[in-house]
Structure 1
């Protein structure tokens, strides 16, 4: 079965090169989707100043994802940027990993609400459902916590139902993702992409090595 791996924009550029070197050694078939990182965050900051329309913010943020995606692929010859889901199978047959540049696909399908509640997390989830794949989200923290993430009282949640996440004020995932996991009956895992060995342990189903993650059940 294919796994959609969402590479958080917070990992670019410091951690993505090494991470992708590890990913290309995985025996599992992967499809990469990346976040917009600092570029997309700048769109948010511009909007705070001038209050642009939700439509233009949505599409410009997705364009940022494509820019970062091209940078990521440029650093690894085994990662091939694509714009059409139909290309996934042929890339896998060539023993490469497809990375989806999502702007053209989202423009064509336009499946998600135009809102800051929707980010690359939700886009990756939509793609995972579309191609009947598993979902793995890589970010710059170990997972979802109870308590303030910047405090000493935080506690990593190992497993949580997506319905319960609807009541969390802020987490490392976007606000729309739990709703989509429920809608698609899809589970996902969140792992810290700064530690590629943990990611590979998960992909190899060796959770004795990786004990830092959050599993979200979509039911």
Structure 2
């Protein structure tokens, strides 16, 4: 009996946060993630689903859990383009969309505030699983006076991520890269471990 040999991964495991603003790019991004050959845990943003929660004017606790449930909704949208889902808080063997509600509800690791968004939830997941984190945004990275900031190793104020995010990833040493997810070729190159334009956050690069 001949045993089939499995090819090794094309790169190390990675947590990939897919921003809700990339809703229209999902059909192009999913094939790229699948073709990467890397074990990717894809953390969905909240997007339009979380925006709907903001309009409800509910208390912080209710809004927190509603917004995380919104991440599950966006996750199912991503999955509808041909990628598997998982509720297991572990590194997958192949690219999978993580539906976070049950795990976050169980661990309840973060403050219940609009200062905490899906970015910080993705950072918590990356820290727990000891993964590098890729944030796919609809911007090129963090800007300062119109210029792209290529490296951040101290807390800075920005609207690109929530206020909790940068101090958290620096403290936990979660190596983070922000790139423009609407630039599909840029995502391809990053997953091939090529240098691309973006912002790196961390002191251990």
TM-score (norm 2): 0.89
Does residue 1:66 correspond to 2:57, yes or no? no
Question: Counterpart of 1:183 in 2: which secondary structure?
Answer: helix
Aligned to 1:151: none
Q: Contact between 1:81 and 1:101, CA under 8 Å: does it hold in 2?
A: yes
Gaps of 5+ in 2: 1-11
Gaps of 5+ in 1: 148-153
- What whole-Å deviation, never above 9, does each CA across 1:111-141 have from its counterpart, x for those lacking one? 0111111111111111111111110000100
Q: 1:21: how far off?
A: 0.9
**1:100 is matched with which residue?**
98
| CA distance in structure 2 between the aligned counterparts of 1:2 and 1:128, rounded to whole angstroms | 10
CA contact (8 A) 2:151 2:201 kept: yes
SS in 1 for 2:56: helix
Matches within 5 A, 1:155-174: 155-161=147-153, 163-165=154-156, 168=157, 170-174=158-162
Which residue is 1:184 aligned to?
172
Contact 1:65–1:101 (Cα < 8 Å) also in 2: yes
Deviation at 1:218, TM superposition (A): 4.8
Q: Specify the alignment match of 2:9 in structure 1.
A: none
Moved over 3 A (4+): none
Paired position in structure 2 for 1:9: 20
Mapped contact 2:170–2:201 kept (Cα < 8 A): no
2:8 matched residue in structure 1: none
Cα distance in structure 2, aligned partners of 1:218 and 1:175: 19
Shift of 1:2: 1.1
Structure 2 residue aligned with 1:80: 84
Conserved? CA contact 1:181–1:218, under 8 Å: no
Compute the displacement of 1:183 (Å). 2.4
2:188 counterpart (194, 200, 213): 200
| Structure 1 position 46, deviation (Å) | 2.7
Alignment RMSD, CA only?
1.3
